Chain A
């Protein structure tokens, strides 16, 4: 079945540092890929998405590129801020999974001033 694997957290960075959160997936078809962010005590918000190979999703300074050859969708940001502290979830939606989204375990990001 479909699965998403994320790097374990927490990831702890200083403000303005470069961020990478790794995400790899397995899927039976050609999935769409998503990153969601969850701030403390809240639900999840869509951060960005990519629907086909080589697409780059971007939002709020975050980027992720759909790499079919490496089955990856790593999240990056050039300069993080304290307000980026949250839990980040990688997810996929695939016809093979009846389009029911599959989530990774989430990666906690803590940014210090």
Chain B
């Protein structure tokens, strides 16, 4: 089945550091990728939707300059958390979809646990 690889799976870094998370679709072309944030024991919070070759669409309340998203190719999207602080610590999950449509399931990466000291 379709596979999405997310890297790294775990990051621990100092406050003020910028962290880049990669999301790759391994066996299909992902026209659209989603980035989610998940707090402990809570549901997924959609942060942004990115389409290949265009700017990401951010959800209300998500800082564009804080969470930089790049979707330069049909198989790779990156999320960069700039100048990360402890409140940015969370579980970040990406997903990819081949074609937008109501019957298309998302294919998820395994998530990245980000811990800012």
B interface: dominant SS = loop
Kindly name the residue among A43, A45, A46 whose own CB sees the greatest number of chain B CB atoms within 10 A. Answer: A43
Q: Of all chain B residues, which has the CB nearest A47?
A: B105
Query: Is the Cβ of B43 less than 8 Å from the Cβ of A32?
Result: no
Chain B 91-115, CB within 8 Å of chain A: the 1/0 string?
0010100001111111111110100
Task: Give how many B residues have a beta carbon under 8 Å from the other chain's beta carbons.
Answer: 24
Query: Is the Cβ of A89 less than 8 Å from the Cβ of B101?
Result: no
Q: Of all chain B residues, which has the CB nearest A101?
A: B106
Which residues in A have their C-beta under 8 angstroms from that of B110? 42-43
Tell me how far the C-beta of B50 lies from the nearest C-beta in chain A, rounded to whole angstroms: 12
Query: Is the Cβ of A45 less than 8 Å from the Cβ of B108?
Result: yes
Chain B 7-48, CB within 8 Å of chain A: the 1/0 string?
000000000000000000000000000100000011110100
Q: Scan residues 70-113 of chain A and give those whose CB is less than 8 A from a CB of chain B.
A: 89, 93-95, 98-101, 103-106, 108
Given known contacts A43-B6, A46-B106, A99 and B44 CB-to-CB distance under 8 angstroms = no
Q: Scan residues 3-30 of chain A and give those whose CB is less than 8 A from a CB of chain B.
A: 29-30
Q: Of all chain B residues, which has the CB nearest A97?
A: B102
> A-B contact count, CB below 8 Å?
59
Tell me how far the C-beta of A86 lies from the nearest C-beta in chain B, rounded to whole angstroms: 13
CB of B49 within 8 Å of the partner chain: yes
Query: Is the Cβ of B100 less than 8 Å from the Cβ of A99?
Result: yes
Query: Is the Cβ of B41 less than 8 Å from the Cβ of A51?
Result: no
Query: Is the Cβ of B41 less than 8 Å from the Cβ of A108?
Result: yes
Q: How far is the CA of A99 from the CA of B108 in the complex (A)?
A: 16
B interface with A by C-beta (< 8 Å): 4, 6, 34, 41-44, 46, 49, 93, 95, 100-111, 113
A-B pairs, top 7 by smallest CB distance, nearest first, are A43-B108, A51-B103, A105-B43, A44-B108, A43-B110, A46-B105, A32-B102
